[in-house]
Amino acid sequence: MLRPIGLLALAVLSTGCATSRTDSALQQRVQQLEDQEAIRTVLVSYGEYLDARDYAGYASLFARDGVWTGGFGSFTGPEQIKAMLEKNLAKAEPGFINKSSFHLMTTMVVEVNGDTATARSRYLFYTATQDNKPGAALAGRYVDEFIREDGKWKIKRRTTHGVIPWRDGNAPTP
């Protein structure tokens, strides 16, 4: 039979175990939220870098073996991705300020599984109309795979699907 002090020790120990389990679950949930927010920041930065024609910043969002697939083809690694942008979208002149177009990133759904994640998001690309008002020119969706590389979330694989006008990211134009 346990004495009162033994009962007290047992109660304290069992409370400590429950608290430890609760703390661990809370830490996991906080880490999940922090990871999701970090990935959403990458998604938003992607559009911001593209709009600023900061192709080095844009390419830095990809993993060392990250793959971008879309209407221009498929490219692997930050250097190839940067070169693809410079070839197809032109380099920005010094002091460039974009006054004619922007991306609007939306409906971001992020699912994290340890050091990997998937994300689905949508974009609208606006350009200036003849009367200098924003007009939606393109609409589409991204399907992404992410990896934690050197402690940071990087795009492992990005496929862009044009919705308006229709363009299948799995079958890019040659």
- The CATH number given to whatever domain includes residue 118 is 3.10.450.50
Q: Is the pTM of this model over 0.85?
A: no
174 belongs to a structural domain: no
> What percent of the chain has pLDDT above 90?
72
Nearest to 54 by CA among 16, 96, 116: 96
Please compute the mean of the pLDDT values over residues 52-63 and round it to a whole number: 97
Counting the structural domains of the chain, the total is 1
Domain assignment present for residue 142? The answer is yes
Q: In this structure, is residue 115 part of a structural domain?
A: yes
Rounded CA separation 171/101 (Å) = 26
* pLDDT confidence bin for 19, thresholds 50/70/90: low
Predicted local confidence at residue 6, as pLDDT: 58
Does the residue 41 lie in any domain? yes
What's the pLDDT band for 92 if we cut at 50, 70, 90? confident
52 located within any domain: yes
- Does some domain include residue 170? no
Give the domain range for residue 25: 4-164
The pLDDT of residue 18 is 59
The pairing of beta strand 101-113 with beta strand 134-149: unpaired
Specify if 173 maps to a domain.
no
